[in-house]
């Protein structure tokens, strides 16, 4: 079943259909949304659109602007309508410009988006991403807003065209939807029941990514370790990890997110025994209080959670473990909060996404009594944040003196004085800023890129290359590796991913491929890097 409606909208006269229409996709929310945005971009490019330049993206100048929304936090709607308000004035100056809203908030709010922002042309949901190009064309033809929300999954997103955000690291969905009933979460209502892909389909997509140049893959699911239940194999996720270990050329495998209630020892064994599965785990805690976990319908307790971490570290002593925590859930007492502090202290998380509870309409928690005053929640949030900063700083300090292999990203690193750094991720997903040898030319944005020269200094890493360095300093949220300028550990390993990045950039700068695809099929299209586990946008 689908909800389909049309509404009058001040749609500007269509632009000339000369094949030059541009697009941009703006993503709000989690890694699932980031990957959905890759599908949206892929479908638009298949339909003949080209991605707006970086300059035009920054100014919201495009013929089609798609906002992929999140509905998890209280300020989601505020962020959406803030974006839409800014786009209204841009659209008034651009004949033929169209605005589309998709994602979780679109699935939830449906036609009210057009009521509140009548300059929106298309609203589509999480279950019908594939409808985007058709709805845009229908809105242009009819000069009326098109709202289409499917009630169940129409097409598995992974079968859709995809414009990958990175040539060296990619997302692969193993499932969509969620069967859990957490009282604070609206995701199952918006994403639907869990649907699993067959292992062969997942591995084929991973293999295709590697063939195109990627050396890192992150497996995605709302609850990855319940993967396989739909087709009757409760050990399927551990088997999938081991199978990824057999893919030649795949150097790094990550996954997110597991659920503590479904986390089993066979997954720990697979992580420890599969060399390309990285020593990193994102394990959502949500609360350290058993009473609050029960109220949240989180079917585990704090001691089980800590036991999982102990077993992971017994086999992977250097694993970096991250988490999600909600502060101020309805009815949370000071004693409950003290339990969260206790568990966080014991867990030694390398980082944590800490959220202040906000009621989401449509969730059981929103109607619970004993909603906490804002000032109480804020004070607890600040105490927990201070504790986690201390723990993260201590855990990061333990990395000083260690030798790590860093997968270099596209962003430039921190700079101090004459030291120019590049940035990447260690195997445990910690962010590392590393300095180059003193006589290696740094990348100057105003000059030609030395990484694209015919003869590249073997010590100058490209995005996608791997660099072995020694950690010299640490902070709670990053590591510094300045061993190279002092003549210490520094070794660059060229990779297929680095080659693919260089081919993509040469094609893009040469102007002979508007989609950013390198000729010869060596690299997928260009875009901002998505490396390992991204920071959630707040």
Listed in sequence order, the residues at least 6 apart from 422 whose beta carbon sits closer than 8 Å to its beta carbon are 408, 409, 412, 413, 433, 434, 436, 443, 461, 467
Nearest-angstrom CA–CA distance, 343 and 368 = 25
30 is in an annotated binding site: yes
Beta strands (DSSP E) in 244-385 are: 252-256, 280-282, 320-327, 351-356
Question: Is residue 311 classed as helix, strand or coil in its secondary structure?
Answer: helix
Listed in sequence order, the residues at least 6 apart from 18 whose beta carbon sits closer than 8 Å to its beta carbon are none
Strand order in the sheet with 252-256: 169-173, 216-220, 252-256
182 is in an annotated binding site: yes
Q: Considering only CA atoms, which of 208, 248, 250, 238 is closest in space to residue 407?
A: 250
Question: Which tokens go with 395?
Answer: 């855990």
Calculate the alpha carbon distances from 441 to 166, 437, 466, 480 in Å.
24, 9, 18, 19
The answer to whether 93 and 64 are in contact (CB under 8 A) is: no
The answer to whether 346 and 365 are in contact (CB under 8 A) is: no
244 is in an annotated binding site: no
Q: What is the full DSSP assignment across 345-384?
A: HHHT-SEEEEEE----TTSGGGG-S-PPPHHHHHHHHHHH
185 is in an annotated binding site: yes
Q: Considering only CA atoms, which of 292, 313, 423 is closest in space to residue 365?
A: 292
Question: Which tokens go with 357?
Answer: 């509870």
Three-point CA angle 133, 136, 139, nearest 5°: 150
Q: What are phi and psi of 480, to 5 degrees?
A: -115, 135
Question: Which tokens go with 396?
Answer: 């990061």
The answer to whether 276 and 252 are in contact (CB under 8 A) is: yes
Binding region for [4Fe-4S] cluster: 30, 70, 104, 178, 182, 185
Binding region: 30, 70, 104, 178, 182, 185
């Amino acid at each position: 079943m689908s909800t389909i409606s049309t509404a009058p909208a001040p749609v500007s006269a269509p632009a000339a259909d000369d094949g030059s229409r541009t697009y941009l996709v703006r993503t709000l929310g989690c890694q699932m949304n980031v990957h959905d945005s890759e599908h949206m971009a892929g479908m638009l490019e298949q339909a003949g659109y080209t991605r707006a330049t970086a300059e035009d993206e920054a100014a919201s100048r495009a013929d089609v602007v798609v906002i992929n929304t999140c509905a998890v936090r209280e300020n989601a709607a505020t962020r959406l309508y803030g974006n839409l308000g800014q786009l209204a004035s841009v659209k008034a100056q651009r004949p033929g410009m169209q605005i589309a809203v998709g994602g979780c908030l679109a699935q939830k709010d449906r036609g009210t988006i057009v009521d509140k922002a009548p300059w929106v042309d298309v609203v589509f949901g999480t279950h019908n991403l594939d409808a985007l190009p058709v709805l845009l064309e229908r809105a242009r033809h009819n000069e009326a807003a098109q709202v289409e929300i499917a009630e169940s999954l129409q097409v598995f997103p992974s079968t859709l065209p995809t414009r990958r955000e990175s040539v060296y690291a990619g997302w692969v969905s193993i499932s969509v939807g969620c069967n859990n009933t957490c009282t604070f979460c609206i995701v199952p209502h918006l994403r639907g029941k869990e649907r699993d892909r067959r292992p062969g389909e997942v591995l084929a997509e991973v293999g295709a990514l590697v063939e195109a140049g990627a050396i890192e893959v992150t497996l995605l699911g709302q609850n990855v370790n319940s993967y396989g239940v739909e087709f009757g194999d409760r050990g399927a996720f551990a088997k999938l990890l081991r199978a990824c270990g057999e893919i030649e050329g795949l150097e790094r495998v990550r996954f997110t997110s597991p659920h503590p209630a479904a986390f089993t020892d066979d997954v720990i064994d697979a992580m420890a025994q599969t060399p390309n599965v990285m020593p990193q785990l994102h394990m959502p805690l949500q609360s350290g209080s058993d009473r609050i976990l029960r109220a949240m319908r989180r079917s585990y307790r704090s001691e089980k959670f800590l036991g999982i971490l102990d077993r992971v570290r017994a086999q992977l002593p250097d694993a970096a473990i991250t988490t999600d925590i909600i502060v101020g859930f309805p009815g949370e007492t000071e004693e409950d909060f003290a339990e969260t502090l206790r568990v966080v202290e014991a867990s030694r998380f390398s980082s944590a996404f800490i959220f202040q509870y906000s009621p989401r309409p449509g969730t059981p928690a929103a109607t619970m009594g004993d909603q906490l005053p804002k000032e109480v929640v804020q004070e607890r949030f600040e105490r927990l944040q201070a504790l986690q900063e201390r723990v993260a700083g201590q855990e990061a300090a333990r990395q000083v003196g260690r030798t790590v292999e860093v997968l270099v990203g596209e962003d430039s690193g921190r700079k101090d004085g004459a030291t120019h750094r590049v940035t990447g991720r260690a195997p445990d997903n910690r962010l590392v800023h590393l300095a180059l040898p003193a006589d290696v030319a740094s990348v100057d944005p105003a000059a030609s890129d030395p990484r694209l020269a015919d003869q590249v200094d073997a010590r100058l890493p490209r995005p996608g290359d791997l660099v072995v360095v020694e950690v010299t300093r640490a902070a709670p949220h990053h590591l510094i590796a300045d061993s190279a300028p002092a003549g210490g550990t520094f070794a660059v390993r060229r990779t297929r991913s680095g080659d693919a990045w260089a081919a993509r950039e040469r094609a893009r700068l040469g102007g002979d491929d508007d989609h950013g695809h390198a000729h010869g099929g060596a690299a997928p299209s260009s875009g901002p890097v998505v490396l390992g586990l991204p920071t959630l946008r707040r």
